[in-house]
Amino acid sequence: MMMEDRIGAFVAHGRIDMLLSDTGPLAGMTFAVKDFFDVAGLPTGAGSPDWLASHAVPQASASVVDRLLNAGARLVGKTSTDELAWSLNGENYHYGTPINPAAPKRIPGGSSSGSVVAVAGELVDFAVGSDTGGSVRLPASYCGVFGMRPTHARIPITGAVPLAPSYDTVGWFARSGDLLEQVGRVLIPEWREPATPPRFLIADDIFEAAGSAVKAALAGALESFGPAEHVVVADGGLTAWRDAFRIIQASEVWQAHSGWVAEAQPGFGPGIRERFADAARLDSATIAEALRVRQGIRERLDALLGKDGILLLPSAPGAAPLRGTPAQELEAFRAKALELLCGAGHAGLPQVSMPLGAIDGCPIGLSAMAPRGHDERLLQLVGTVTRLHG
Amino acid sequence: MMMEDRIGAFVAHGRIDMLLSDTGPLAGMTFAVKDFFDVAGLPTGAGSPDWLASHAVPQASASVVDRLLNAGARLVGKTSTDELAWSLNGENYHYGTPINPAAPKRIPGGSSSGSVVAVAGELVDFAVGSDTGGSVRLPASYCGVFGMRPTHARIPITGAVPLAPSYDTVGWFARSGDLLEQVGRVLIPEWREPATPPRFLIADDIFEAAGSAVKAALAGALESFGPAEHVVVADGGLTAWRDAFRIIQASEVWQAHSGWVAEAQPGFGPGIRERFADAARLDSATIAEALRVRQGIRERLDALLGKDGILLLPSAPGAAPLRGTPAQELEAFRAKALELLCGAGHAGLPQVSMPLGAIDGCPIGLSAMAPRGHDERLLQLVGTVTRLHG
């Protein structure tokens, strides 16, 4: 049934074949799900050996898994993830780094690393990940596939390990925009075609932050969307957006997991260890100020987008970094990526990354962001993009 | 298309006929929706002339409306509701009281009053309401139909007027358990058949609180479920449950609507006027203590139900009160009803009311409550009940 996994997409305990219906809109399609979501009868590992060891095997599957099975899709694997999903790189200290099929010398991106490479490497038709600060959009950009982050809380994330609940969303990857849309129609049963044409906006300041190579790589794709208004999104700069994101995220991770950390004393890999230590030291005034910043971002993006706006922005500050990039350099790149990506998280807005550019022969994504609850616009758009760009 | 509305089910501005698909699992079915949910292009009144006047006509429909239209059902009306849904009686000071087709001299129950009478009066096949403290379960009991309150937040309530968001759920009514289940299968796309048989529990203390006439009226129905364990649910008594509910509900209503009240200065009917005045005076220590009580109730019900428990309890402390019952007497009855009904709200659990009893020739419902996320158990049960009891 499943092809051999030479790229490290799947977790060891995830060799499965689960089919509940052979009719439905996704009949004949195979999919994989990030090992952050429960699948009945299989352990959930969340990228942490200590998590795996300290949690009972779930008896029920996550809602998203059941919805896809009910639609006729076949589940063939659970996929690798960064430890507790708290990274954007796709490098797991305990389990290693899946291979980026589009650029094998480069990291795949994460935290939905196994899901993105399973799609890019054609092991499955589509795959489910989760996106808190960019964990679907960034790996989609690095690996040259489509990746969707829906409106926050529109698709229930029941049965998944929490990271930062006010940001966490279900997300999914596919090689074609058509299939990305098809999966969306299953996950959004209240699907409604947009009644009006979109109004395109280009995020000048976010392109500026991404740098000239990214701008040049995506210029052709941008033009293909036709007339667009140029706007400055973050008046006060993007670093304030990123800082607020890190603070609120850390405070929510701490709330979700500090009890378990105290009890299980997990042996964290580098990076996540430090992030937990920092989270423990956050004070409430800092968190309150970050929440105030987030409110401003929500209001700004809502005002910009109105009911019909689609904001075009880069998905990443460059092609995927090389494997073995020194930690400090990699961290600086991740921080820059977070600046570009955290807006949708702060405002709960849907954003899709489309594989429409290349830098040095490696993929880079163009993103589109829509108003809250208007996921249909983005998924309709990627269907069109696929038909235009092949 | 629609039968004449002699029972006051529909709001004046709700004479509509909306069909988007003539295929799907609900093809051929008609439905109505409480005027608490948005329908694109129609005003949302929420049972308040001032709300109607001060809100723009929505451009999009509530998720639940779109899901049902996508499944092939035909929307034929928007239905009456108690003012801002803040009552259980079904009497609206501004618009009057719909007729209870099962007991025309008695109140229909609310706040989903128009939806329940549209179903009981056979004007539609099924109808959507909302349930915060019992606004689907109690009118279902009074009017002799099935009424479902699902797990909190399992079915998105996007596009509805909020009342008390941590309690608010979408709900629905049907005359047969089979149809109640069919609608549930559309609204719960991640539907999964229960893997194990249920374990029945009987809530002795809640039956005691409902009184001997209710116990006698439901004894036969109780027996039909076979062997069951008798349990005491609320060790400290049900009045503490009700008091905590009233406090938390009022604090959330205040948070949701005090801004609008200050601005629009609505002319509230009696009852809701006093409740708003009381809500304004709540202090944070009182609210914190009520939240503590709620946490205890959640833990108690979770422990009782486990993964397979179904708790049987009365839906009401009697048949529907007569129209024109003196206010103080009616209020005492409503308070008693709230004691029986608030547990599911506090714990976010699904509960269904089944029309399985009668007192003086008037309907009374038997309720079943399931563990969080196990709505399928209840809907499967009512399908069976319909086949057993005709």
Question: In this structure, what CATH number is given to the domain that contains residue A351?
Answer: 3.90.1300.10
Q: Judge contact between A233 and A206, C-beta under 8 A.
A: yes
Other Cβ atoms closer than 10 A to B282: 16
Catalytic option among B61, B63, B87, B111 = B111
> Residue B165, SS3?
coil
More confident call, B17 vs A357: A357
Whether residues A209 and A157 fall in one domain: no
Q: Is A111 a catalytic residue?
A: yes
Backbone angles phi, psi at A284, to 5 degrees: -70, -25
Whole-number pLDDT of residue B349: 98
Q: What is the pLDDT of residues B317-344, one digit of tens each?
A: 999 999 999 999 999 999 999 999 999 9
**Do B70 and A189 count as a contact with CB atoms less than 8 A apart?**
yes
pLDDT band of A15, cuts 50, 70, 90? low
In sequence order, which residues have a C-beta less than 8 Å from that of residue B224 and are 6 or more positions away? B388, B389
Q: Is the pLDDT of residue A390 over 70?
A: no
Q: Judge contact between A167 and A177, C-beta under 8 A.
A: no
In sequence order, which residues have a C-beta less than 8 Å from that of residue A357 and are 6 or more positions away? A214, A217, A218, A220, A221, A363, A364, A365, A366
The encoded tokens of residue B187 equal 């609204």
Per CB-CB distance under 8 Å, the chain B contacts of A157 are: none
Whole-number pLDDT of residue B388: 67
Q: Is the pLDDT of residue A324 over 80?
A: yes
Reference B147, options B180, B110, B103, B125; nearest CA is B180
> Once rounded to an integer, what is the mean pLDDT over residues A309-327?
97
- Write out residues in chain B with pLDDT < 50, as ranges: 1
> Once rounded to an integer, what is the mean pLDDT over residues A189-199?
93
Whether residues A178 and A205 fall in one domain: no
Per CB-CB distance under 8 Å, the chain B contacts of A186 are: 189
Indicate the residue of B60, B154, B190 with minimum beta-carbon distance to A67: B190
Q: Is the pLDDT of residue A75 over 50?
A: yes
**Do A61 and B154 count as a contact with CB atoms less than 8 A apart?**
no
Say if B164 falls within a structural domain: yes
Say if B170 falls within a structural domain: yes
Whether residues A309 and A176 fall in one domain: no
- Contacting B with CB below 8 Å, chain A residues are 59-61, 63-67, 70-71, 153-154, 156, 158, 186, 189-192, 195, 307, 373
Catalytic option among B63, B113, B135, B141 = B135
Say if A330 falls within a structural domain: yes
Whole-number pLDDT of residue A1: 44
The encoded tokens of residue A40 equal 């009945």
Whether residues A33 and A141 fall in one domain: yes
**Do B190 and A153 count as a contact with CB atoms less than 8 A apart?**
no
Percent of chain A with pLDDT over 70: 97
Q: Is the pLDDT of residue A367 over 70?
A: yes
Per CB-CB distance under 8 Å, the chain B contacts of A307 are: 59
Whole-number pLDDT of residue B330: 96
Give the chain A residue nearest B63 (alpha carbons): A190
**Do B63 and A191 count as a contact with CB atoms less than 8 A apart?**
no
**Do B158 and A373 count as a contact with CB atoms less than 8 A apart?**
yes
**Do A158 and B154 count as a contact with CB atoms less than 8 A apart?**
yes
Whole-number pLDDT of residue B1: 43
Cis peptide before B21 (omega within 30 of 0): no
Residue where a domain stops, chosen among A153, A187, A221: A187
Whether residues A217 and A290 fall in one domain: yes
Whether residues A174 and A270 fall in one domain: no
Whether residues A213 and A278 fall in one domain: yes
Say if B53 falls within a structural domain: yes
Whether residues A235 and A343 fall in one domain: yes
Whether residues A307 and A352 fall in one domain: yes
Catalytic option among A61, A135, A176, A315 = A135
Say if A134 falls within a structural domain: yes
Indicate the residue of B71, B158, B307 with minimum beta-carbon distance to A59: B307
In sequence order, which residues have a C-beta less than 8 Å from that of residue A54 and are 6 or more positions away? A260, A263, A264
Whole-number pLDDT of residue B385: 79
Angle (nearest 5°) at CA A135 between A132 and A137: 110
Residue where a domain stops, chosen among A166, A187, A208: A187
Whether residues A204 and A346 fall in one domain: yes
Whole-number pLDDT of residue A304: 98
**Do A158 and B156 count as a contact with CB atoms less than 8 A apart?**
no
Percent of chain A with pLDDT over 90: 91
Torsion angle (degrees, nearest 10) of CA B374, B376, B379, B383: -140
Give the residue numbers spanning the domain of A53: 10-187
Q: Is A135 a catalytic residue?
A: yes
Q: Is A307 a catalytic residue?
A: no
Say if A2 falls within a structural domain: no
Whole-number pLDDT of residue A271: 87
Does the interface predicted TM-score (ipTM) exceed 0.95?
Answer: no
Q: Is B335 exposed, middle or buried (0-12, 13-18, 19+ CB in 10 A)?
A: middle
In sequence order, which residues have a C-beta less than 8 Å from that of residue B98 and are 6 or more positions away? B7, B8, B9, B80, B90, B108, B113, B114, B117
**Do B189 and A192 count as a contact with CB atoms less than 8 A apart?**
no
Say if B179 falls within a structural domain: yes
Catalytic option among A48, A80, A111, A367 = A111
Say if B389 falls within a structural domain: no
**Do A66 and B192 count as a contact with CB atoms less than 8 A apart?**
yes
Whole-number pLDDT of residue A389: 63
Q: Is the pLDDT of residue A72 over 50?
A: yes
Whether residues A98 and A161 fall in one domain: yes
Q: Judge contact between A294 and A242, C-beta under 8 A.
A: no
> Residue B120, SS3?
helix
Indicate the residue of B66, B71, B373 with minimum beta-carbon distance to A192: B66
CB pairs under 8 A between A and B: 48
Interface probe, candidates B192, B308, B374, chain A, greatest A C-beta count within 10 A: B192
Overall domain count for chain A? 2
Whether residues A270 and A369 fall in one domain: yes
